[in-house]
Amino acid sequence: MSILKSSLIGAAMLMASPAFAQVPNPPGVAQGINTVGSQPVTFSNGDVRMAGNLYLPPDYDSSRKYPAIVVAHPWGGVKEQTSGLYAQQLAQRGFITLAFDASHYGESGGEPHDLEDPADRVQDIRSAVGYLASLPQVDANRIGAVGVCAGGGYTLHEAQTDLRVKAVAGVVAYDIGEATRTGIDGAPVSAEDRQKLLQGVAEQLNKEAAGAPLLVQQLLPSRDQVNASTDNFTREAVDYYLTPRGAHPNARNRFVVTSPGLHIAYYPLEHMELISPRPVLLIAGERAETRRFSEAAYAKAQQPKELLIIPGASHFDLYDKPQYVTPAVDKMAEFFGKYL
């Protein structure tokens, strides 16, 4: 597998839409889930206008202050998808939650769209924490953060240097740097592959500097391109993102092709020890190709820390399937209830 393919397939696992709901009911949300108190909001990340959905607990009382949780989406995802699902589920358990479109995605600003820049993604989370802290109904001393897939890697990285985040969790956390350097499904990525990737990025950047249009390409293969030789990870990604199960019009299955040049030297899990003594929770699927990233983050973190492996779950199962999402949310509710 080439490094470009490994990076793009990794990207694929990051755009999702829940098989559970939007504002007020995200697409695919299971019927019967109460989304009382959901509302669209905007906030600023420097000059970038950010768009989010804020969720309030069913028993919301405006005279109280609540613990709150930021929820970050995967690479290529939007707030109406898996991050919105987790935000809604956690709100049902008594937290104020915020799912938002990262800059360059969905209804948020940031040009060019479909650029996956780790530095911007970390700053997005930081601005979302600040937005929650500014709300009168939020206890600014009780803010946590959750990220799904690449959002998990970014969230763990952001928490290392943001003491406002009192507890942090990653769900099928994805280390976008390590995935670009070494792949995600066991296929080796050689030094030659990495050099070819960087050379291709350099050539494209020079073309664009000389006036060529930005090069944006398809992130995942189309459904009719999937065949018997397609690896399982890609097949699951296509089944999620490019079918009614997970597709959303704001998640465009596109990426700026020079993005991996920003990923290859990115090490989001390198200083997990900086989070301590604040607590860390890692949740991974037993069958997930990305399980190794959660285990690596756990190994580098100091106490208090927890690692939950969901039996039988693949990476994409933890995006939307109730039999896997429910125990993950139950664990997070217990974790944040204890530490926030």
Q: Residue 136: is it exposed, middle or buried by C-beta count within 10 angstroms (0-12/13-18/19+)?
A: exposed
Question: How many other CB atoms are there within 10 angstroms of residue 46's CB atom?
Answer: 11
Per-residue pLDDT at 8: 43
Q: How confident is the model at residue 82 (pLDDT cuts 50, 70, 90)?
A: very high
CB 256 within 8 A of CB 116: yes
Per-residue pLDDT at 10: 38
Element containing residue 5 per DSSP (H, E):
helix 3-12
* 32 has pLDDT over 80: no
* 2 has pLDDT over 80: no
Per-residue pLDDT at 324: 98
Q: How far, in Å, CA of 118 to CA of 125, rounded? A: 11
Per-residue pLDDT at 284: 98
Question: pLDDT digits over 283-306, tens only?
Answer: 999 999 999 999 999 999 999 999
67-97 per-residue burial string, b: 16 or more CB within 10 A, e: under 16: bbbbbbbbbbbbbbbbbbbbbbbbbbbebbb
Q: Lowest mean pLDDT: which of 14-23, 30-39, 69-78, 201-210? A: 14-23
Q: How confident is the model at residue 121 (pLDDT cuts 50, 70, 90)?
A: very high
Tokens at residue 175, please?
Answer: 């280390």
Q: What is the mean pLDDT of residues 8-13?
A: 38
Per-residue pLDDT at 233: 81
* 20 has pLDDT over 50: no
Q: How far, in Å, CA of 287 to CA of 237, rounded? A: 14
Q: What is the mean pLDDT of residues 61-74?
A: 96
Per-residue pLDDT at 38: 78
Q: How confident is the model at residue 234 (pLDDT cuts 50, 70, 90)?
A: confident
Per-residue pLDDT at 64: 95
Per-residue pLDDT at 84: 94
Question: pLDDT digits over 152-206, tens only?
Answer: 999 999 999 999 999 999 999 999 999 999 988 656 788 999 999 999 999 999 9
* 1 has pLDDT over 60: no
Q: Lowest mean pLDDT: which of 74-78, 165-169, 237-241, 310-314? A: 237-241
Per-residue pLDDT at 186: 55
Question: pLDDT digits over 261-284, tens only?
Answer: 999 999 999 999 999 999 999 999
Per-residue pLDDT at 163: 98
Q: How far, in Å, CA of 288 to CA of 10, rounded? A: 12
Q: How confident is the model at residue 242 (pLDDT cuts 50, 70, 90)?
A: confident
